[in-house]
Amino acid sequence: MKPVSENHQNLTLNDQIQHLLAQGVEAVGQSKFEEASLCFHKILGLDPQSHEALYQLGLMAYRKKEFYLAVGYFQIAQFINPHNVTFLSSLGSAYKELKQYELAKQTYLKALSVQSNFAPLHYNFGNLLNEMKDMEGAAQSYQVAIQLDPRLLQAHVNLGNMLTQLKKFDTARLSYEKALALDSTFGLAYANRGKLSKEELDYGAALEDYDRAIALSPNIAKVYVLKAELLNLSKKFDEAVQHYDQALLIDPHFENVLGLRLHNKMLNCNWHNFDNDLHHLIEQIALHHNATQPAQLLSLMDSGAYQRQASQIYVNQTIPENKSLGPLSHDDYSFNPKRRIKLAYVSADFKTHAVCILMAQLFELHNKQDFELIAFDATPIENSGVDPMRQRVLACFDHCYDIRHLSDKEAAQLARQLKVDIAIDLGGHTYHSRTGLFAYRAAPVQMSYIGYLGTLGAPYMDYLLADKTLIPEKSQNNYVEKIIYLPCYQVNDSQRQIADRIFTREELGLPAKGFVFCCFNNNYKITPRTFGNWIKILHGVPESSLLLLADNPLAKSNMIAYARSKGLNPQRLVFGERLEPSEYLARYKTADLFLDTLPYNAGTTASDALWVGLPVLTQAGEGFVSRMAASALVGVGLNELIAHTSDEYIKKAIEFATHPTKLEVIKKKLLQNKETALLFNAPLFANNLEAALKKAVNLYQSQKMPQHIDLA
């Protein structure tokens, strides 16, 4: 290549410009940006109106991720040559990278008005609409691109992705198969078809496609992440971690992977390098990176501020507010004393699940004269067996709507058509939840309860149900929602049956004598600090044992190895299996004291133990999930079982275990309080909740903004 300084006196001005332009483009291709910049600026010295040089400077800035600079160059080039589709498309792409979506959209629309039959332009516009969470618009753009150029491979795949999100599974599968017909070696097409199969609960087909995708595209992080998610569902947590590791090697900032990886380690009680892993995760959250799904953070750290930040990052990038349905009209929800309030519960857990185990009696107790009860059912049906809990719960509703095959937008439109007054999300940031429909403003009053224990971080959620133990007034800033303070947060089913079966120590593997501690919280809630506290307690109480749940063999072996490394005889750890609900409750009678976890407290399990008559010792922290058991204990009048530091927690556990009379006083008090306690008074809870719901509706009908509501 000739140097930039070569004498061009024998060339015409246009020839000089074309020569310099070719030199510059070649230099950009070789990443020689300084040399390229000299070429393009020399052109502008010869012709300040050279839109080609300006455009090339913009492309160079874009390639270097200097998007503001790129916008400036593209704008000037487009001003000089206003109908150049390439300039407009590139300007739209730069706006998109800056997340200036409306400017990007208007720029693409202008380009399309100039040249509407250019397939790549429709494809790029579809990518923008996809990022704007306009799935219907994106799908339409991809369809037009495909009509103009049926061999546009990635457009078929992206169309399939949009149709999958819109719950149009059959047509989504056709799109993936068309892509594979064009190129049977295209790994991402297999990966996304596998994701569709997972949505349809066909895990075998999903695994086959993921394995094909990895074989064909071993350097794409997304493929490993998708397979890791499937391995998690199959409880192959160690393999899931390995796949997350591979994804991070390819892309260290792939969204949510740090949190998902650490969560899968916790599911196996694999605490190797825990502190460093957690520190790295917190650093990424502080940098506003989408490093974890919010649910994974709850069991890892006790900070309301970080939990709010992680939730807001996740919502902004995954399920942001969407105003495409327009605002609601107050006239459609006007006050009428004779009209029942339409109350919709949205859940993917209308089955034998912790949510319904707690809420079943509440559904039965709702005042049908004041409330019209509606179920928005997103529950995955994985088998054809009869689920008595599902039958019991759905029988309580006036209307049940299956929204599994509706998009979030369609479900929100349905809620608007029904003129739902209050929509309550029982899932939040959990698996299969449908929080996305709330982003479209499905109802005038939207709130979150019990399925997700913390702030959703979403500006479209008006209220969060809690009590003053869970969220002291000084902690309100850690929550995006306004707080509805109930006398007691957690509802319970007072009709729960405890089996008559009497478990012997021998059949549970417990020693014939000695104090029995227990904890049946999920394994991922056990941090190395919590387990270390338990070991100190066991050392402080000779001949005591700890009855635990092990979700998988590796979790059990990791806990045993950790105990041995701390000088504890592993035989003092006894592992129980999962039982059907009534026998699971009966097993609690074998234990003497329930030991809670921190930062993620027992919720349903704390109520289970207290319902049977087993005292629960907890350490209260800062965040919502770190105060769950404390809330339950206040609700049953046993504040003395709440510790506030690890030392106090250990001291109390040892004191109760070594002073039987003190523990006996606690047990008698629990049995006395149980009949009248707020925690187990479902009719009173229903009355309090309904009073709060009416206040929230009245605020809306008075055209007032949501505000804290105190019924405590």
C-alpha distances (whole Å) from 653 to each of 240, 642, 648, 665 are: 36, 11, 9, 15
Amino acid symbol at 183: D
- The helix (H) or strand (E) run that includes residue 344 is strand 341-347
Q: Which two tokens stand for residue 392?
A: 């019991």
Banded model confidence at residue 7, pLDDT cuts 50, 70, 90: very low
Is the pLDDT reported for residue 454 higher than 80?
yes
pLDDT of residue 383: 63
List the single range of 14-18, 600-604, 637-641 with lowest mean pLDDT.
Answer: 14-18
Q: pLDDT grade, residue 26 (50/70/90)? A: confident
| pLDDT tens digits, 44-76 | 888 888 888 888 888 889 988 999 999 999 999
Determine the pLDDT at residue 15: 83
Phi first, then psi: what are they for 96, rounded to 5°?
Answer: -60, -45
Largest CA distance in the chain: 107
Give the pair of three-digit tokens for residue 515: 């104090």
Q: Region 12-18: what's the mean pLDDT?
A: 83
| Spatial CA neighbour of 460 closest among 635, 658, 324 | 324
Residue 385 has pLDDT above 80, yes or no: no
Residue 5 makes CB contacts below 8 A (sequence gap 6+) with none
pLDDT of 230-252, one tens digit each? 999 999 999 999 999 999 999 99
If one compares 431 and 366, the residue with the highest pLDDT of the two is: 366
Label residue 438 exposed, middle or buried (CB < 10 Å: 0-12, 13-18, 19+).
buried
pLDDT of residue 384: 55
The pLDDT score that the predictor gives to residue 324 is: 93
Helices (H), 570-659: 581-587, 604-612, 628-635, 646-658
- Separation of CA 247 from chain center: 19
Q: Which sign, positive or negative, has the C-alpha torsion 474, 475, 481, 487? A: negative
Grade residue 20 by pLDDT with cuts at 50, 70 and 90.
confident
pLDDT tens string 636-667: 999 999 999 999 999 999 999 999 999 999 99
Confidence of residue 19 (pLDDT cuts 50, 70, 90): confident
Domains and CATH numbers, the chain: 330-485 (3.40.50.11380), 505-680 (3.40.50.2000)
- Residue whose C-alpha is closest to residue 370's, from 10, 697, 710, 50: 697
What's the pLDDT score for residue 6?
44
On average, the pLDDT of the chain sits at 94
The pLDDT value given to residue 374? 98
pLDDT at residue 22 above 90? no
139 near 129, Cβ under 8 Å? no
Residue 375 CA to residue 342 CA, distance in Å, equals 11
DSSP string for residues in 237-292? HHHHHHHHHHHHHH-TT-TTHHHHHHHHHHHTT--TTHHHHHHHHHHHHHTT---S
State pLDDT tens for residues 299-356.
999 999 999 999 999 999 999 999 999 999 888 887 677 789 999 999 999 999 999 9
pLDDT at 10 over 70: no
* Res. 3 pLDDT band, cuts 50 70 90: very low
pLDDT at residue 445 above 80? yes
Q: Is 295 in contact with 429 (CB distance < 8 Å)?
A: yes
The 8-class DSSP code of residue 481 comes to: S
Q: Are 21 and 56 in contact (CB under 8 A)?
A: yes
What confidence score (pLDDT) does residue 5 get? 43
Judged by DSSP in three states, 349 sits in coil
Distance in angstroms (rounded) separating the CA atoms of residues 697 and 445? 7
Q: Can you give the length of the chain in residues?
A: 712
Query: What is the pLDDT averaged over residues 113-129?
Result: 95
Answer whether residue 30 shows pLDDT above 90.
Answer: no
Sheet harboring 545-549: ordered strands across? Answer: 573-576, 545-549, 516-519, 593-595, 616-619, 642-643
What's the distance, Cα to Cα, between the start and end of the chain in Å? 79
Q: Which of 577, 608, 606, 585 is nearest to 501 (CA)?
A: 585
Q: What pLDDT, on the 0 to 100 scale, is given for residue 446?
A: 98
With cut-offs at 50, 70 and 90, classify the pLDDT of residue 391.
very high
Q: Hey, how many other C-beta atoms are within 10 angstroms of the C-beta on 410?
A: 16
Amino acid at 151: R
List pLDDT tens digits, range 416-431: 999 999 999 999 999 9
Measured distance CA(342)–CA(373) in Å, rounded = 6
- Of the candidates 568, 622, 576, 5, the residue with the CA atom closest to the CA atom of residue 307: 622
Region 600-626 average pLDDT: 97
pLDDT of residue 2: 40
